[in-house]
Structure 1
Amino acid sequence: VSVSGVHVLQVVSGCEWDDETEEVKGFTQFAYDGEDLLELDPKTFTWIALRPEAVIAKLRWDADKDLREFYKTALTQIYPVDQKKYVKYGRSVLLRTDLPSVSLLQKTPSSPVSCLATGFYPHRASLVWRKDGEELHEEVDHGEILPNHDGTFQMSVDLNLSSVTPEDWTKYNCVFQLSGVKEEIITKLEKDRIRTNEVKPSNMTVLVTAAVVALVLILVGAAGFIVYKKKKAISPPSCQ
């Protein structure tokens, strides 16, 4: 093994625990410059040289009783106890599933319809548009999964409706699927479901607008009448 220059020594050590069978498998491996070097046999707690250059280290470590006892204690006692403790503490997070609210958004009548799913956890999820039950890969634009301020996530996928007739809208669905949850959240493409920036005038708005227009006309007429009266008052009498 070359020792000149800069080199990287890597070590990974831990255990795998089967919570159903309670079986625990410990492991420790060393690598040098990205290549496997030494591996600990978890049954005999002796070292396996994975490269010829590691044979000397293997013999030395096998003869070190304190080192063997250290790894034996770590792999059979310390690591399993810590892992079970952390799994217990983190179970609420590891098994947590939050379903999102799904909305259909559109900026203008000619813009794509965006299907937005927000508030889901974990981030392993999919959001697609389907037509007649088949996932669409064209005329769609997938957004990235983004974090929310509360630790949940959001994502969106846009559907271009420029070539879709209103009669075919009922064939389209936005489908959200959260990893580990069998049920899908299906949102049908319906005009009444779409939230848009377009503001429709209410009856009150129409009445107020009409009243303002009428008031303006009255003021213009009154101003014209006053001007007419003033001009008539100052005009000289006609000669006969």
Structure 2
Amino acid sequence: MKTLATCFFFLFATLAHAGSPSKVSLADPNDAVAQRFLPGHDFEIGMTRSEVEAIISRKYAHWQKTENREGIKAKQDAASETFTESITLESRGQSPLADVYRIDFTSPLSGGVVYSIIRDVKFSHLPKDRLASDEWKKAIARSWGKPYAAVGPDRDNLVQAIFFFNDAGIATARDKAFCTTIFGKMDAISRNAIEDVEEVIAEIEREGCHFFTEARAIVGESGLLVRTGSRRTDMLSYVRDLAARASRADR
């Protein structure tokens, strides 16, 4: 089973669904800047695969589609049951050069629904096609408010803003340090290195770390963005699904 990675854009581990996804702040469909890089309203956390496939057929039929499958296996199983872990949609052109969605699903143990939506946009080399970093920051603030944490630009010109929301859609304050330590606890769950999974789940609910959103960008010359990556993820359901899969693998 994968563990949570910290690499750029799509190099993250699998997360999952619970609660009311409509409470998580979405990009304003009338905000032209946000629509250029944030996940839109077509796909939602909690959707079933059949619902996602229907939207793809209706709106993304011309995009290149790739499906990734993963196994669920107990120790004594001779063969593992597989499920659709993610669907990637990619559109290539001149502006932007690439627009990619990745929709991640929980395992059948947790209903096989969407838990995370990621969008990766690579802009062309032409200044007129790029987004100014100030516009990017303002669009994020309009959509998600004040970040839980913001860093950069670093030596690779990468900037990042992260947000945590509780199950009511209220942003979590920066002093709730638990939200930044939960990733290590999820790794421990995946390795069966933590005994009280229910306590971790209770902490996520108590500390307001139910939903995680993130925006990243690489800043080029004149403050114009080269590439952006953004995601919306249900952390609480991910932990529940991760625990269910770890428990099955240990049987």
Tell me the TM-score normalised to structure 1 length.
Answer: 0.22
Q: Which has the higher contact order (CA 8 A, sep 6+)?
A: 2
User: Over alpha carbons, which structure has the higher Rg?
Assistant: 1
Tell me the TM-score normalised to structure 2 length.
Answer: 0.21
